[in-house]
């Protein structure tokens, strides 16, 4: 069965998107390949997401350029949780985006990974292995082959950071409940007190559990906005006190208004590239 390749929606008319076959998918990992048609450069503001993101630059010559918190870089990059204002673009021919759940990122990226909002080059994390990975991915004859190579790279043993099973369980619960679970309840589930959970969770995943819950809830609301729901509906469905509460959270995580998030190009491809993350229709 061939890899699924699809054209993008109208706002992304110059971009082709490929996604892995089900058999190529890994737990806690989402991948999508992007190839731009034409020489025009891109400049896209990225929206905070509850994952650690790898952007692997597969372009020939000039490729990904990123600007984070006043610092600029070029090439493949690792984006930690809550990176703040971040723009990515350049004359990108092709790139592979990989989203890792934080517990998976700790294992895949090893001891050198910094998940607390850092934006660093892949070479700073993987060293010479980053260059070899890019060479293999560029040499691949198809996206199907690239996804297979990426899966092999992600399974390669490294100096791994340990994540407690209790911490991993709490992260999965946050995702399943879309951030609508209390930290005290999570602590009770794993038999810890709140202080211990907060300390272990923060040390191992790079974010406090309460803030992680806010990020997951914001992500759900942002996708509802991007799929055409009103701010009032998104606020109610996502569990915000009211529309003003949603507005404050959106402003903090993105610097945008809810209407700005609804129109964000970064979210307009989700139904194609990340269909599992798109909220179900709201009745």
Residue scoring higher pLDDT (158 or 76) = 76
The predicted structure's pLDDT at residue 9: 40
Q: Report the alpha-carbon distance of residue 61 to residue 66 in Å, rounded.
A: 15
Q: Report the alpha-carbon distance of residue 197 to residue 187 in Å, rounded.
A: 6
Q: Is the pLDDT of residue 281 over 50?
A: yes
Interval 159-178 mean pLDDT: 89
Instruction: Please report which confidence band the pLDDT of residue 143 belongs to, taking 50, 70 and 90 as the band edges.
Output: very high
pLDDT digits (tens, 9 = 90+) for 222-271: 999 988 999 999 999 999 999 999 999 999 888 889 998 888 777 777 76
Q: Percent of the chain scored above 90 by pLDDT? A: 40
pLDDT digits (tens, 9 = 90+) for 88-114: 776 667 889 999 998 888 888 865 555
pLDDT digits (tens, 9 = 90+) for 57-93: 888 766 777 777 656 778 888 888 876 667 777 666 7
Instruction: Please report which confidence band the pLDDT of residue 175 belongs to, taking 50, 70 and 90 as the band edges.
Output: very high
Q: Report the alpha-carbon distance of residue 193 to residue 190 in Å, rounded.
A: 9
Cα atoms in the 13 Å half-sphere on the side-chain side of 90: 22
pTM of the model: 0.85
For the chain, domains (ranges, CATH) are 4-155 (2.60.120.10), 165-277 (1.10.10.60)
Give 168's contacts (C-beta < 8 A, 6+ positions apart): 103
Both tokens of 21, joined, read 């076959």
């Amino acid at each position: 069965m061939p890899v699924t390749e699809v054209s993008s929606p109208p706002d992304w008319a110059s971009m082709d998107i490929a996604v892995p076959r089900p058999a190529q998918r890994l737990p806690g990992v989402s991948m999508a390949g992007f190839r731009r048609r034409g020489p025009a450069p891109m400049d896209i503001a990225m929206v905070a997401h509850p994952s650690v993101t790898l952007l692997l630059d597969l372009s020939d010559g000039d490729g990904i350029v990123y600007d984070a918190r006043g610092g600029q870089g070029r090439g493949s990059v690792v984006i930690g949780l809550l990176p703040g204002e971040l723009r990515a673009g350049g004359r990108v021919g092709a790139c592979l985006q990989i989203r890792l759940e934080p517990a998976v990122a700790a294992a895949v990226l090893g001891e050198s990974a910094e998940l607390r909002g850092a934006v660093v080059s892949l070479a700073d994390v993987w060293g010479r292995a980053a260059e070899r990975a890019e060479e293999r991915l560029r040499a691949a004859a198809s996206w199907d082959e690239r996804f297979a190579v990426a899966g092999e790279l992600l399974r390669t043993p490294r100096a791994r950071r340990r994540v407690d099973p209790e911490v991993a369980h709490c992260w999965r619960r946050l995702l399943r409940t879309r951030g609508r679970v209390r930290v005290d309840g999570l602590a009770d589930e794993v038999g810890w007190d709140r202080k211990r959970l907060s300390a272990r969770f923060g040390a191992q995943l790079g974010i406090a559990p309460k803030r992680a819950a806010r990020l997951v809830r914001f992500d759900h609301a942002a996708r509802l906005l991007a799929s055409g729901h009103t701010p009032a509906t998104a606020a109610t469905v996502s569990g915000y006190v009211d529309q003003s509460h949603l507005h404050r959270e959106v402003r903090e995580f993105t610097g945008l208004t809810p209407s700005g998030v609804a129109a964000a190009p970064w979210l307009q491809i989700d139904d194609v590239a990340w269909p599992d993350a798109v909220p179900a229709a709201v009745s």
